[in-house]
Structure 1
Amino acid sequence: MRGLRSSCVGALLLALALLSLTDHTGVVCAKSDKEAKTPEPTSSASSRDNDPVIQEVRGLRNAGMKLNDAKDFKGAIEKIREAIKLLHNRVFGEGRHAVTDPQDISQDAALYAQILNDYGSVLIRAKQYDEAIEVLEDSVAMVEKIYGDSHPSLGLSLRSLADAYMAKEKYQKAINKYKTLRKHVKQGLGVTHEAYIEASLRIAEGYKKLDKKEKQLKVLQNALKAQGGEINGLTSGIAELYMELSTAHLAVNEVDDASRAAETASAVFLQRDGEDSLAYAFSLNALAGVKMRQQKVDDAIGLLERAHKIAVNIYGEDDAITKASAKTLREVKEYKVDMQSEKDEL
């Protein structure tokens, strides 16, 4: 596959040299869906829709993504490779001579970049990170050089590429890609969009992996500050942002700040997901952990009891999550008894 892609950017630039590509008003977006279910671009022109090569490419791509959803990664890779080979011939090989309409050429290029991104996403799930990085670097370069840095496909490829570097434990490279993604998101969608928040969370995660605690904290604080005076708790990622901020404060022993952030996170989870949600239960557990650091054991027990009740209602008594919740609650209660015994001895 590398041989097919090696001349992609240069060849496609040549093929599109006479086109006037004016679609530079699109926005960059990041995907939270880890299952890589992105729909491929479609053309409104019925003649292209009915083209047998395009139909076969789409059929192979869609079949591959269904196999990907079913976790048959080997089968998915084979199908999408076939789609790439067919489209490669149409965009770069002999098949390109049969395509003369500038709009069709542009649509083919967009489809090729999208399928490369899909292929890279499948490779990530298959844990074939080296090839995923190669494919996604090609996809990013192709979209950026042909369409500029404001095309929607760029965000998808950047996100997948950053994820691949993160999975490969190349954290600084992942951070750099997430920063590039966040810059485009800021320009296109604004700082209050969930894609901006998600990119910030991933950058912070990268710094956490590198044990750069101060940088991790700063990224989260800046992301929160960028939201302005009024924060919409229903925006995806806001609750998680506060939760990670609490963890980052704890890492640098800023316990009171951690408590405030954890309390806000819990309130936002309650508003967003409801009082019977697992997300809210986890936020109560996290807040209980902060209360333990503050030596507010009774508060922690109350929070853990509420969280455990939610877990029981969702999963029953015998689920692993419920058992873990019960164990934590029991250990904290035992800790309280031990603390009281020590005080009595004094």
Structure 2
Amino acid sequence: MMVEVQQGDEAALQSATSRKPKSFRKLLSKKLGFSKHADRVDASTSRDSNCSHREQPVDSDVVEERDLPAVEEREISALNDKGNDFFAKGEFDAALRMYSEALKLLKNPRITMDMEFGSEDQEDLSKGMRRFRTARLLVNIGAVHIRRENYDEAISVLEMSMRSSKLVPVESSYYYRSCEVMADALENIGLVLYKLKTFEESSTRYADALVARRKCIELLTERFMRQKGPKSNEVVAKYRQEVSACKMELANTLFYMALLRERQGKIDEATMRCEESILLQKEIHPQLKSDTNSVNLFTTMGRLYCHESIQRYEDALEYFYEVRRMKSQIFGSMHIEVASSLNNIAYIYLQLGEFEKCLSISENSIEIANNGRGVNQEVCIAWTHKADAQERMGRHTDAISSYEKVLHLQSSLRDDNDIANATIYEKIAEIYLTSADVNAAIASLEKAIIVKREALGDESSDLARTYSKLGECYEMTQSFANSVKCHTKALRIFKHNEDKEGAAVEHNKLGGILKLSGDYSKSMEHYMASLWHAREAKLPSTNPIVADTIRNVASFQSS
């Protein structure tokens, strides 16, 4: 049983990627303490308030410029902030009204600007401000459309925002803010594409957002360094505050990218992105391990370290112990979320070969998961880890009993034909084989095949591997006809899926069975076919299957 993917928010590690994807911003507002607001802060407000989401313009009546009273830039900010408040409450119509009113004010030719960036040509400053704020408001409206699942409208509005951001001149005091908004728009387009399951396009937008976020930090630093003369404490503090805010946004985007890459199976890049996110956040918050908002960030890091292609179990263990501590602090030591963390820790100890620790922690998790609760996913995982540990310790009778307990529990949560049941049947079969009870193993594997055919269909390579294992069991009982049937089914599936290595293995096994049963002609045909598929699969001559096939062909030729 693998480490879970999104604890609480999503199911276990294997299933998380198969569920309907959630908004990264919505998901990570829980994970990293992001604001529920629609927008990041404007130039006229403190960047400490952590708002973020986006929007689109609304038609308004054409008003003669001479009839418009002068307005202040802070009035536009105030409307934007009110829209953010409504957005956070889920009052999207009201949010759109505020954003639309702000867009209407931006048409006014007489806007008194905050002038916080120093002096530049008044007309250029005004143009930069209008384009930046238009882009920001469009991003916020796009966020409303995303929340309402109006994805076409969202993309249209977000692309308008990007065009407005690009119109802000490089020399404008608002240029770095426009890069910030550009990053937000790119992220939200990436989010829409993620929801539409166009993952490669989504990852491209997130990668572009990362570039824009890094550029924001560079621009802030360049602007600060260009300031001549001694810098007051206030100026230095403001610079540090803004850089920290930009770095936090970069860290957030890196985390989104990590989740997306994990979803795509690109674990190395996901790990790299998540590590960089953690480093940035530690730079901003040195006591990150004391920040309970880090729970899901640490969980993701631990999960990635546990992946079969990474296997940095000791590093993962450190993160999962921190997650357990935080969850105990947040929810209490007997909360189901703590059981989830214990299951992750038990899994790591299982991989490290520390079976006694795995067993002890699994029993602790079972106690918590059963604490006044009905059957739940965490108790099933805990029992599975307990059974795994018992099996590794040679306690076969106890392990079978525990696996049967898992099947009983899962019958209350899942369909009989859920793939999780097939996994347990195969684990039970392995124990019976170890105990030399081949007939019991055959019965368990046949149950696994029934489940896999229903859950995965008749052309699954996973099903083929179970057929192959069943064929080996029949060979042990000298039921050669049944063994040939099973391996032939496995061979057909592997060929259907163009799995040359799998086909080479099955041809080799069929050659061996037919040789034992005295059908040397057909046996030789399968050995030759095995060599051909092995060559197509580019298997080396040192591969055990290739070496065995070569030996058998040579023995035929010499006889």
The normalised TM-score by structure 1 is 0.70
The CA distance in 2 between the partners of 1:297 and 1:266, in whole Å, is 19
1:112 deviation in Å?
Answer: 1.4
Task: Give the match for residue 81 of structure 1.
Answer: 279
| Alignment pair present for 1:280 and 2:280 | no
Task: Give the match for residue 40 of structure 1.
Answer: 28
Provide, for residues 3-55 of structure 1, a one-character-per-residue CA deviation record: whole Å limited to 9, x for no partner.
xxxxxxxxxxxxxxxxxxxxxxx7996433699x9953436632544494764
Task: Give the match for residue 509 of structure 2.
Answer: 328
The CA distance in 2 between the partners of 1:205 and 1:285, in whole Å, is 23
Match of 1:173 among 345, 354, 357: 357
Query: In the alignment, residue 294 of structure 2 is paired with which amino acid?
Result: Y
What percentage of aligned pairs have identical amino acids?
15
CA contact (8 A) 2:298 2:319 kept: yes
CA contact (8 A) 2:267 2:304 kept: no
**CA 1:194–1:254 in structure 2 vs 1: closer, same or farther (change >3 Å)?**
farther
The CA distance in 2 between the partners of 1:173 and 1:232, in whole Å, is 32
Task: Give the match for residue 137 of structure 1.
Answer: 321
CA contact (8 A) 1:194 1:235 kept: no
Match of 1:123 among 301, 305, 315: 305
The CA distance in 2 between the partners of 1:154 and 1:29, in whole Å, is 15
CA contact (8 A) 1:116 1:136 kept: yes
Listed as ranges, the matches of 1:39-58 within 5 Å are 39-42=27-30, 45-46=36-37, 48-50=50-52, 52=245, 55-58=249-252
Question: 1:211 aligns to what SS in structure 2?
Answer: coil
The CA distance in 1 between the partners of 2:399 and 2:489, in whole Å, is 30
| Alignment pair present for 1:161 and 2:345 | yes
The CA distance in 1 between the partners of 2:478 and 2:363, in whole Å, is 38
Aligned residues between the structures: 294
1:304 deviation in Å?
Answer: 1.1
Query: In the alignment, residue 28 of structure 2 is paired with which amino acid?
Result: E
Match of 1:337 among 504, 512, 518: 518
**CA 1:230–1:81 in structure 2 vs 1: closer, same or farther (change >3 Å)?**
closer
The CA distance in 2 between the partners of 1:90 and 1:138, in whole Å, is 11
CA contact (8 A) 1:28 1:153 kept: no
Query: In the alignment, residue 341 of structure 2 is paired with which amino acid?
Result: S
The CA distance in 1 between the partners of 2:348 and 2:282, in whole Å, is 20
1:327 deviation in Å?
Answer: 0.9
**Unaligned regions of 5+ residues in structure 2, if any?**
1-7, 38-48, 53-243, 521-559
**CA 1:55–1:91 in structure 2 vs 1: closer, same or farther (change >3 Å)?**
farther
**CA 1:54–1:236 in structure 2 vs 1: closer, same or farther (change >3 Å)?**
farther
**Unaligned regions of 5+ residues in structure 1, if any?**
1-25, 93-107, 340-346
1:267 deviation in Å?
Answer: 1.0
Task: Give the match for residue 481 of structure 2.
Answer: 298
**CA 1:124–1:84 in structure 2 vs 1: closer, same or farther (change >3 Å)?**
farther
The CA distance in 1 between the partners of 2:469 and 2:289, in whole Å, is 52
**CA 1:180–1:31 in structure 2 vs 1: closer, same or farther (change >3 Å)?**
farther
CA contact (8 A) 1:311 1:322 kept: yes
**CA 1:33–1:231 in structure 2 vs 1: closer, same or farther (change >3 Å)?**
closer
Listed as ranges, the matches of 1:110-259 within 5 Å are 111-125=293-307, 126-149=310-333, 153-185=337-369, 190-191=374-375, 196-227=379-410, 232-259=415-442
1:197 deviation in Å?
Answer: 4.1
Question: 2:459 aligns to what SS in structure 1?
Answer: coil
The CA distance in 1 between the partners of 2:493 and 2:353, in whole Å, is 35
1:249 deviation in Å?
Answer: 2.0
1:67 deviation in Å?
Answer: 6.4
CA contact (8 A) 2:346 2:385 kept: no
CA contact (8 A) 2:410 2:421 kept: no
Query: In the alignment, residue 353 of structure 2 is paired with which amino acid?
Result: E
**CA 1:238–1:185 in structure 2 vs 1: closer, same or farther (change >3 Å)?**
farther
Match of 1:62 among 256, 260, 273: 256
Question: 1:40 aligns to what SS in structure 2?
Answer: helix
**CA 1:213–1:28 in structure 2 vs 1: closer, same or farther (change >3 Å)?**
farther
**CA 1:226–1:31 in structure 2 vs 1: closer, same or farther (change >3 Å)?**
same
Provide, for residues 320-341 of structure 1, a one-character-per-residue CA deviation record: whole Å limited to 9, x for no partner.
11111111121122122289xx
Provide, for residues 279-335 of structure 1, a one-character-per-residue CA deviation record: whole Å limited to 9, x for no partner.
22122122222222333221111111111111111115xx11111111112112212
Cα RMSD after superposing both structures:
3.7
1:232 deviation in Å?
Answer: 2.4
Question: 2:518 aligns to what SS in structure 1?
Answer: helix
Match of 2:449 among 266, 269, 282: 266
